[in-house]
Amino acid sequence: MAQTAREAAIPALAEVFREHGYEGASLALLGARAGLGKGSLYHAFPGGKAEMAQAVLDAIETWFETRIYAPLRDEPDPRAAIRRMLSETETYFRSGGRACLVGAFALTEGRDRFAERIARYFAAWCEALARALRRDGWAEAEAADLAEEAVSAIQGGLVLARALGDPAAFGRMLARLRARLIPGEAAEPGG
Amino acid sequence: MAQTAREAAIPALAEVFREHGYEGASLALLGARAGLGKGSLYHAFPGGKAEMAQAVLDAIETWFETRIYAPLRDEPDPRAAIRRMLSETETYFRSGGRACLVGAFALTEGRDRFAERIARYFAAWCEALARALRRDGWAEAEAADLAEEAVSAIQGGLVLARALGDPAAFGRMLARLRARLIPGEAAEPGG
DNA sequence: CACACCTTGTACCGATCGGTACAAGCGGCA
DNA sequence: TGCCGCTTGTACCGATCGGTACAAGGTGTG
C-alpha cells in the first residue's frame, strides 16, 4: 500500500529536515534515512522534496493539534491541559535533545516557502494556550500575553539547549514556565 | 588594502548566512551580495566559505562583546548596562525583522561545524548578564537563572517574530523582559 | 614609459544537487 | 504456469555546488 509506505517514511524524513533544514536536506540523505531508493521516494512523493516537507509539516501539525492544541481548547480542566502541554512538549522535544523543525524553517529561507504553515503552527499554539489560560481565570489581555511568552520561551529554550549542547537548559525553561503558567502549584524539585 | 576589502565584505556575507543558513548560503549568493567576483572572494578569504563564516562569527562575537557583554560586566551602574543591552538588542535585530545568525546556525547542522563558537556566544551572554544582575542585588542562583531565561527569551522572540511574520512580537518580548530584569521601573507604554 | 605586483574575471574541475525515464523485478491472480 | 501491474533500482539529465588555476587588467613606483 502506497499510503502506508508514505506514512512510514515521514518520521525519518522529518528527522532529516529537522537536523539539516530544508536546503540542507538532500535527496540522498532523505532516501538513506527513510530506507528508500530514489524511485520509491518519488513514487510516494511525486512532488519531490517540497511534497516531502509538506507531508512532514502536515504530520507535525496534526500531532500538535491532537495532543496539545485540542486539549488546551476543550479539556474541561484547563490546568490539566496546560500540565499536559508541558509534559507532551518535554517528551516531544526529547527533553531538549531535539530541535523544532518549524522553528528551524522559520529562521532560514524555508520561511518564504512555508510561511503560511509556519505562522499557522505558532498562531494556533498561542491561541489554544491563551484560551486555556482564559478559562483558568486570567484576563483576556494577560492570557494572550502569557501564551505568547510561553510559546516563545519554548522556542528559545530549544535554541539555547542546542546552542549550549546542554539539553537540561530546556528542562530548566519548562520548569520556569510551569511556575508562571500554573502559579501556586509546587514545582517538582527539578531532575 | 586586502584587510579593508575583507572587512567591507563581512556585513554582506553575514546577511546571506543569516537568511539562508550555512548550507543555503551559496558562493553565488555570497559573491553577489558582497559585490565581489569569485576571484576577489577567494582572495579575501582563502579558506573559502568556512573562513567567511568564521570571519562573520568573529565580527558578531566582537560586536556583542564590545557593545553588550563588556558593559554588563564592567559598567558601574548595572541597571544602565541592562537597559543598554535591551536597546542595543532591539536595534541590532532591527526590532525583530532580523534573525540571529548564531541561533540559526545552532538549530541546523551548522551546529556541528561551529559548535564551540556558538556555545561560547551564548555562554558569554548568560554569564555577563548574570554578573550584572548579581551586582544589581540578585542572589547568585536567581541571577544565573534569570540571565538564562532572558537570553533564551530573546532567541524565542526572534523565532516567533519571524515565524508569525510579526516583528512586533519581538518588541513585546523585550518589554516583558525589561519588566522582569529591572522590576519597579515603569515600562514605556509600548509603541 | 616600463616594470612589477596586486586584484579580479573567467574558464574549468569533479561532485552533488533535485528531478526524470525506464526497464528489470516482484507481487497477486487466474 | 503465464500474465499483468505496482514497485523499485539505476542510469541519466541539466544545473549548480564549492573550489582551483590562471591570464588579463589595473595600479603604484621607478
Domains of chain B: 2-181 (1.10.357.10)
Write the pLDDT tens digit of every residue in B5-29.
899 999 999 999 999 999 999 999 9
| Range scoring the smallest mean pLDDT among A14-28, A60-74, A102-116, B158-172 | A102-116
Q: Which pLDDT score, from 0 to 100, does residue A111 have?
A: 82
Q: Which of B123, B114, B125, B128 is nearest to B58 (CA)?
A: B114
Shortest CA gap B158–chain A (Å): 8
CA A107 to each of CA A36, A110, A114, A159, B99: distance values in angstroms, whole numbers, following the listed order:
29, 8, 11, 11, 6
At A3, is the pLDDT very low, low, confident or very high (cuts 50, 70, 90)?
A: low
Shortest CA gap A24–chain B (Å): 6
Q: How far is the CA of B26 from the C1' of D16 (A)?
A: 9
C-alpha count within 13 angstroms, C-beta hemisphere, residue B33: 18
Q: Where does chain A show beta strands of DSSP type E?
A: none
Q: Which of B21, B178, B191 is nearest to B99 (CA)?
A: B21
Q: Which of A187, A100, A175, A86 is nearest to A132 (CA)?
A: A86
Among residues of chain A, what percentage have pLDDT more than 90?
A: 91
The grid coordinates of residue A57 equal 509539516
Bases in strand D with any atom closer than 7 Å to a protein CB: 6-11, 16-23
Q: Do A155 and B160 touch (CB under 8 A)?
A: yes
Q: Which pLDDT score, from 0 to 100, does residue A108 have?
A: 85
Summarize the confidence of residues A62-91 as an average pLDDT.
98
Shortest CA gap A1–chain B (Å): 33
Write the pLDDT tens digit of every residue in B25-68.
999 999 999 999 999 999 999 999 999 999 999 999 999 999 99
Cα–Cα distance, B84 to B67 (Å, whole number): 9
R_g over Cα of chain B: 18
Q: Is the pLDDT of residue A188 over 70?
A: no
Amino acid at B129: L
Q: Which pLDDT score, from 0 to 100, does residue A112 have?
A: 87
A to B CB pairs, distance under 8 Å: 137
Summarize the confidence of residues A75-92 as an average pLDDT.
98
Residue A172: its chain B contacts at CB < 8 A?
145, 148
| Range scoring the smallest mean pLDDT among A52-56, A74-78, A138-142, B104-108 | B104-108
Sign of CA dihedral A82, A83, A86, A91: negative
How many CB atoms neighbour CB B65 within 10 A? 16
Q: Do B21 and A99 touch (CB under 8 A)?
A: no
Residue A107 has its nearest CB partner, among B23, B148, B162, at B162
Q: Do A155 and B153 touch (CB under 8 A)?
A: no
Q: Which pLDDT score, from 0 to 100, does residue B143 have?
A: 98
Residue A152 has its nearest CB partner, among B104, B106, B153, at B153
Residue A175: its chain B contacts at CB < 8 A?
none
Q: Is the pLDDT of residue B190 over 70?
A: no
**Does the C-beta of B50 come within 7 A of strand D?**
yes
The position carrying cell 481548547 is A73
For chain B, the distance separating the N- and C-terminal CA atoms, rounded to the nearest angstrom, is 44
Residue B101: its chain A contacts at CB < 8 A?
none
Q: Which pLDDT score, from 0 to 100, does residue B2 have?
A: 46
Q: Which pLDDT score, from 0 to 100, does residue A2 have?
A: 46
**Does the C-beta of A180 come within 7 A of strand D?**
no
Summarize the confidence of residues A106-130 as an average pLDDT.
93
At A187, is the pLDDT very low, low, confident or very high (cuts 50, 70, 90)?
A: low
Residue B119 has its nearest CB partner, among A153, A165, A176, at A165
Residue B107: its chain A contacts at CB < 8 A?
21, 99-100, 103-104, 107, 158-159, 162
Write the pLDDT tens digit of every residue in B88-137.
999 999 999 999 999 999 998 778 899 999 999 999 999 999 999 999 99
List of A residues 14-43 with CB within 7 A of strand D = 36-40, 43
Q: Do B19 and A145 touch (CB under 8 A)?
A: no
Summarize the confidence of residues A62-86 as an average pLDDT.
98
Residue A160 has its nearest CB partner, among B24, B151, B160, at B151
Q: Is the pLDDT of residue B187 over 70?
A: no
Cα–Cα distance, A151 to B94 (Å, whole number): 21
